[in-house]
């Protein structure tokens, strides 16, 4: 029988080699068609007496990234349709759909013939769950091989047997850590945990897998044999008594109960280890069905899976502009940001010229990349040869003439209009006509900076976030005269360096920084009200923010906040800034010399290691303190989330952000807006605009007019629409609620 996505070749020893190689796809993914073909292969090889065993591998450089978008879209669409026509049967149908993969993998492991998974490259999610259902597992000895169950990162959990097989192969503690963090494993780590049996040279991968079958691999899983005991001991054992209370406490500490998928992992493992395997799979299937129906799963899947992939593939790229293959890129300014931009450019294999005022400064910028490479080599993330090749692509210079021939030049100098004007003029004197000039500014409007350019159509903003090598978001800002070619080239560049872009129109602070400033400003309000500083930080984390606003402000630098506030007053007038905020920042910077982490003292004190940072004890003396028992933590959480979400609605109302997908992805990747919500706009859509409007009005009455609902929120509350409907992005995944 011929298959579309697989080839099956049986050798003289009776071993069927099943090679997964989907046509017109760069990576193998699970679709309904793929699963149907896997089932057909299982049935055919089981029925064929000539077949003694099966080796399952990939014909691509990677094994598989897991499920395809269409499968998840299909589940949500089916749920929405069923609820509209037969609500009572909707959950039953979702339960059956959720179990399709799980029971197919169970069919493979109980077919009576040995299956071996030969893993090359990335093996994630359902692909690893399929491999775990095989009786033998061999991974290639290559750094590109990564295995993991990352589902928790998009709001769900390993629901195709992952929560049951992993803790039956390794101890429960390691199993829980792997699944609740979504971390990936190297072949060595996977073997040490007992998740794979062998590590083979890449060229001998399939031969090693076949040898396992020839050597008499049993077609029975350990948990299907009589007397099986889990490696980590029984749940109700001394080991279990130590593990489970601690595991529950750690999960609560790390997630604050905001992630149903993470909690379901604990429940599945705890309950499943006490049950026969097939019953345990049903328990997992029930929890998976429940989690799929939560707003957290819907929001995270939409933003962190569907929307991110769409944006990464160029959803906002002008289609009629020819793609750019970069031969040379220039970066002007070899400070921390410029040096980081040079590093990610060279890492993408693109030659980059790093220019600064003198060679000493430029060399120092290249040394930043050398330091990253050195740490990568020490941690085994790269080799010295690869590091040397990367560094060879970075050319430090003090001469603007060396930028000649660059396709794109990114300016990353100080946030000073006069300095940026000088740099723009100097760069354009040597740029070829077709080249694009980009400013990495975090606050200054691009339209104003473009006035210094002779070619405003080829002038654009490319805003990176610090540290550049780790932050995945890039904000692309369109000036009033920016052309499609500049936008297309900027998006091509962001794709080349493997980061996620959002495209926004021009305004002070753009999108991300406007929301971040609102987050920090609300913390200022709370400090001034006398809310204990520790409660401010803890409430923000309980709301789902990764970093408290005071800690974040220290990272940004208080003296930079001071400059931003003063610049806003200079450009927009005294009313642009709350005078209480200005006084607070001035007191911290001018009176107490507290600039933030960079000088070891801000809202926090930063003692020498190994001591940990702690809130500055004198902070609570700046304002009369409220009693902690009188402060409603839930209200503090609302003030943070609603304040940020409101600012996001203002940017959409003003036409700064035109796509809710970008507002959501940008809020999560840019500053960590409570990922479980799916982003700032999904947070509103999930609760409904009417409820959001009501909460805004209550907060505005008690805490200030900055909480007054925006016009667009009022309109949506009245019409019953969502932001995704209003802005033409009707849920890419049909909401099942």
Active site (catalytic) residues: 463
What sign results for the dihedral spanned by CA atoms 604, 465, 329, 370?
A: positive
CA dist 590 → 583, 585, 607, 616 (Å): 10, 8, 21, 16
What sign results for the dihedral spanned by CA atoms 190, 193, 196, 197?
A: positive
H or E element that contains 20: strand 15-20
Please name which of 327, 328, 318, 257 lies closest in space to residue 634, comparing C-alpha atoms.
Answer: 257
Quote the CA–CA distance of 57 and 559 in Å, as a whole number.
56
CB burial of residue 272 (10 Å; 0-12, 13-18, 19+): buried
CA dist 216 → 11, 135, 213, 272, 290 (Å): 17, 11, 5, 30, 41
CB burial of residue 432 (10 Å; 0-12, 13-18, 19+): exposed
Quickly list H helices, 14-86. Answer: 32-47, 69-85
User: Tokens 């070829």 belong to which residue?
Assistant: 432
Whether residue 735 contacts residue 76, with contact meaning beta carbons closer than 8 Å, is answered with: yes
Three-class HEC string of 212-263: HHHCCCCCCCHHHCCCCCCCCCCCCCHHHHHHHHHHHHHHHHHHCCCCHHHH
**Cβ partners under 8 Å of residue 592, min gap 6:** 601, 618
Quote the CA–CA distance of 533 and 706 in Å, as a whole number.
21
Strand partners, 138: 118, 198
**Cβ partners under 8 Å of residue 663, min gap 6:** 502, 511, 648, 651, 652, 657, 679, 680, 681, 723
Strands (E), 115-172: 115-119, 122-124, 136-140, 146-148
Q: What are phi and psi of 311, to 5 degrees?
A: -70, -40
User: Tokens 């979702």 belong to which residue?
Assistant: 94
Whether residue 686 contacts residue 707, with contact meaning beta carbons closer than 8 Å, is answered with: no
**Cβ partners under 8 Å of residue 404, min gap 6:** 430, 431, 432
Quote the CA–CA distance of 209 and 230 in Å, as a whole number.
25
CB burial of residue 393 (10 Å; 0-12, 13-18, 19+): buried
Read off the tokens for 36: 């149907």
CA dist 265 → 229, 406, 526, 628, 670 (Å): 20, 50, 36, 34, 28
Give the angle subtended at the CA of 390 by the CAs of 389 and 396, to the nearest 5°.
110
Quote the CA–CA distance of 299 and 318 in Å, as a whole number.
27
Please name which of 133, 165, 127, 134 lies closest in space to residue 148, comparing C-alpha atoms.
Answer: 127
Q: How many CB atoms lie within 10 A of CB 447?
A: 19
Quote the CA–CA distance of 29 and 21 in Å, as a whole number.
10
Quickly list H helices, 688-733. Answer: 689-703, 711-719, 723-726
């Amino acid at each position: 029988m011929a298959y579309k996505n697989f080839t099956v070749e049986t050798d003289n020893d009776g071993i069927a080699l099943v090679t997964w190689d989907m046509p017109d796809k760069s990576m193998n993914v699970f679709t309904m068609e793929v699963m149907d073909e896997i089932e057909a292969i299982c049935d055919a090889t089981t029925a064929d007496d000539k077949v003694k065993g099966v080796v399952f591998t990939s014909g691509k450089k990677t094994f598989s990234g897991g499920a395809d978008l269409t499968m998840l879209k299909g589940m949500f669409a089916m749920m929405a349709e069923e609820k509209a026509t037969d609500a009572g049967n909707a959950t039953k149908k979702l339960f059956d759909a959720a179990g399709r993969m799980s029971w197919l993998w169970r069919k493979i492991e109980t077919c009576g013939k040995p299956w071996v998974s030969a893993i090359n490259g990335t093996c994630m999610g359902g692909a690893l769950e399929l491999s775990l259902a095989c009786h033998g597992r061999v991974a290639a000895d290559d750094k590109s091989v990564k295995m993991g169950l990352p589902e928790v990162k998009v709001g769900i959990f390993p629901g195709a047997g992952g929560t049951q097989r992993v803790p039956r192969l390794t101890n429960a503690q390691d199993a829980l850590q792997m699944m609740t963090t979504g971390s990936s494993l190297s072949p060595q780590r996977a073997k040490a945990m007992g998740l794979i049996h062998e590590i083979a040279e890449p060229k001998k991968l399939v031969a090693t897998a076949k040898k396992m079958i020839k050597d008499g691999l049993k077609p029975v899983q350990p948990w299907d044999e009589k007397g099986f005991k889990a490696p980590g001991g029984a749940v109700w054992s001394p080991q279990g008594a130590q593990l489970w209370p601690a595991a529950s406490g750690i999960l609560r500490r790390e997630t604050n109960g905001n992630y149903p998928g993470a909690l379901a992992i604990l429940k599945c493992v705890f309950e499943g280890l006490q049950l026969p395997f097939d019953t345990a799979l049903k328990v997992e299937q029930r929890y998976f069905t429940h989690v799929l129906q939560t707003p957290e799963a819907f929001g995270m899947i939409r933003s962190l899976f569907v929307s991110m992939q769409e944006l990464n593939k160029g959803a906002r790229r002008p289609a009629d502009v020819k793609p750019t293959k970069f031969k040379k890129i220039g970066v002007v300014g070899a400070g921390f940001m410029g040096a980081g931009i040079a590093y990610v450019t060279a890492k993408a294999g693109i030659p980059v010229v790093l220019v600064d005022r003198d060679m000493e400064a430029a060399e120092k910028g290249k040394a930043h990349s050398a330091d990253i490479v050195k740490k990568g080599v020490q941690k085994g993330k790269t080799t010295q040869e690869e590091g040397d090749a990367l560094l060879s692509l970075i050319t430090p210079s003090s001469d603007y003439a060396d930028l000649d021939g660059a396709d794109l030049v990114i300016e990353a100098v100080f946030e000073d209009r006069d300095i940026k004007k000088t740099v723009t003029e100097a760069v354009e004197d040597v740029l070829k006509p077709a080249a694009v000039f980009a400013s990495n500014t975090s606050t200054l409007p691009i339209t104003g900076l473009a006035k210094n350019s002779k070619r405003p159509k080829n002038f654009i903003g490319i805003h990176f976030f610090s540290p550049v090598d780790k932050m995945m978001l890039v904000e692309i800002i369109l000036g009033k005269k920016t052309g499609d070619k500049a936008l297309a080239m900027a998006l091509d560049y962001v794709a080349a360096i493997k980061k996620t872009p959002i495209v926004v129109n021009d305004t002070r602070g753009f999108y991300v920084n406007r929301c971040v400033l609102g987050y920090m400003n609300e913390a200022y309000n709370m400090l001034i009200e006398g809310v204990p500083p520790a409660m401010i930080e803890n409430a923000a984390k309980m709301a789902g923010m990764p970093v408290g606003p005071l800690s974040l402000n220290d990272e940004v630098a208080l003296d930079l906040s001071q400059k931003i506030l003063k610049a806003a007053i200079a450009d927009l007038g005294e009313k642009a800034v709350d005078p209480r905020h200005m006084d607070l920042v001035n007191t911290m910077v001018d009176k107490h010399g507290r600039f933030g982490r960079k000088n070891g003292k801000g809202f926090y004190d930063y003692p020498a290691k190994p001591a940990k940072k702690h809130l500055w004890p004198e902070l609570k003396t700046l304002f009369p303190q409220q009693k902690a028992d009188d402060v409603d933590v839930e209200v503090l959480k609302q003030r943070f989330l609603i304040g940020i979400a409101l600012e996001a609605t203002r940017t959409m109302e003003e036409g700064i952000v035109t796509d809710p997908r970008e507002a959501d992805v940008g809020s999560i990747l840019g500053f960590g807006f409570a990922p479980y919500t799916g982003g700032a706009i999904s947070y509103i859509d999930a609760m409904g605009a009417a409820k959001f409007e009501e909460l805004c009005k209550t907060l505005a009455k008690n805490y200030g007019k900055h909480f007054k609902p925006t016009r667009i929120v009022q309109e949506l509350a009245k019409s019953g629409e969502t932001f995704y409907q209003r802005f033409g992005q009707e849920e890419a995944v049909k909401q099942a609620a």
